[in-house]
Structure 1
């Protein structure tokens, strides 16, 4: 048993007191642009391409870090859509690449002189061909820290959840979000978005007691 957990139990203190648990919140539009503009201003092309692709692709970190140039490029240019096989579900998922994301990827591929079969985000550590999920997590936490957001309130999964949440809020189309996330069951999408709680709170806010 963890020492701190044992002490907490001994004194009747909840183990999760002061900790954030459950699903991490998605980014707000203002936070997305705060990170994006900062990366653009400082010319951090790899990070900008990684951030934009993470938002657009809605992929889990384990799938994102293993993408190769050939997964997003066709005919020497970044395509507007791509399909990859998910490690967790072994099911293909398709995602769109917006104009800004395509531009940042094109610039990063050119600057890094990446070839067709190369990993999109090579590791700077010699024993790994691409950045690891741990490295990815450190990079993401750095982004949050730099814009003054508490890194403990978010995670790499925040980036996966951001666009689906925005799409659901605008359209209320659960089936579309399910397909974009690559979920096999609609119930998984409902739990993932936490929409039952969110919708209940929204109704409560609109009701004067």
Structure 2
């Protein structure tokens, strides 16, 4: 088997056994293709590569200026590949098993203030054509109300939104399902968008087009609004609302959801469940908000705190 055959077999196994998302498999594929190209320049391949070569590759990645998170992801892909090839008997050993990665730098997530989110929501309701306003308002309200990942949001099935639901069933990473509650504004935006969406779909059926199963349909290959298109929409809303576009992405709204919940007293475990994090350690990055709240409580309420 060639290196590309190994990569293909590994990615197929990821999809079949672990339910890995398409975006995850695409990222692993790109990382492993880069590694096999690097090996080819040194007349080596997956059957021959040693631990020393893998470590040299990681050093080269660092010398190229790749971010720590990128290097950590590449090593993760390599380690999972060789664990798979060892378990499948494609190699008698696992050359990556003892390699320690660079880890991930713990940085505070970029987020938005409550006032900035309000301005974005106002722009969604007022900018663009009627159907676009309804769609954009629904997108923004759902994202801020639930903290969904952008891939989860744009691929929502319309069946999940029928009947004025109080809860949405979301299919997350690894095929894991979770329930998230909807706020009243989100439910109202969803109801208004469904009326417009269904009318457009009825017109499309009259012209012979099949009905979409997605809440945010598109005539593109995926059948639903793409992540890239939503990224463009949210940047346009940032410009219209006077919020710096550099600070606004779908992921910063997800961070805002978690940060604002925690600031208003929500439990960290509950936020972990709502975000779909498998490990609470991933959610703990938001505790900087809790630290600030505790500090304010002490300064405001402790009898010995000095007040100017």
| TM-score bucket of the superposed structures, by smaller chain | 0.7 to 0.9
> Do the aligned residues in 2 keep the contact of 1:70 with 1:117 (CA within 8 Å)?
no
Residue 239 of structure 2, aligned match among 145, 158, 178: 145
1:117–1:187 distance in 2 versus 1, CA, 3 Å: same
1:107 paired to 2:192: yes
1:14 is matched with: none
Q: Identify the match of residue 92 of structure 1 among 174, 177, 189.
A: 177
1:112 aligns to what SS in structure 2?
helix
Cα root mean square deviation, aligned: 2.9
> Retained in 2: the 8 A contact 1:24–1:155?
no
- How far apart in 1 are the matches of 2:279 and 2:160? 26
- Secondary structure of 1:78's counterpart equals coil
Which consecutive residues of structure 1, in runs of 5 or more, have no partner in the other structure? Answer: 7-20
Q: C-alpha displacement at 1:136, in angstroms? A: 1.2
> Pairwise mapping of residues 29-108 of structure 1 onto structure 2 (< 5 A)?
29-42=114-127, 43=130, 44-73=133-162, 77-86=163-172, 88-108=173-193
Q: Could you say which residue in structure 2 is the equivalent of 1:15?
A: none
- Structure whose alpha-carbon radius of gyration is higher: 2
TM-score, scaled relative to structure 1: 0.75
> Which structure exhibits the higher relative contact order, with contacts defined as CA atoms closer than 8 Å and separated by 6 or more residues?
1
**3-state DSSP of counterpart to 2:274:** helix
Q: Which residue of 1 aligns with 2:57?
A: none
Q: How far apart in 2 are the matches of 1:126 and 1:197?
A: 40
Classify 1:49/1:172 alpha carbon distance in 2 versus 1 (closer, same or farther; 3 Å).
closer
Q: Which runs of 5+ in 2 are unaligned?
A: 1-59, 66-106, 203-210, 300-304
The question of 1:120 aligning with 2:205 is answered no
Question: Are the structure 2 counterparts of residues 30 and 41 from structure 1 closer, same or farther at C-alpha, using a change threshold of 3 Å?
Answer: same
Tell me the matched-pair count.
184
Using the alignment, how far apart are the partners of 1:165 and 1:61 within structure 2? 17
TM-score, length of structure 2 as denominator length: 0.53
Question: SS of the residue aligned with 1:141?
Answer: helix
Return the alpha-carbon distance in structure 2 between the equivalents of residues 187 and 201 of structure 1: 20
CA contact (8 A) 2:231 2:250 kept: yes
In structure 2, the residue matched to 1:159 is: 253
* Whole-angstrom distance in 2 between the partners of 1:24 and 1:199: 17
1:189 and 1:37 map into 2 onto residues whose CA distance is 29
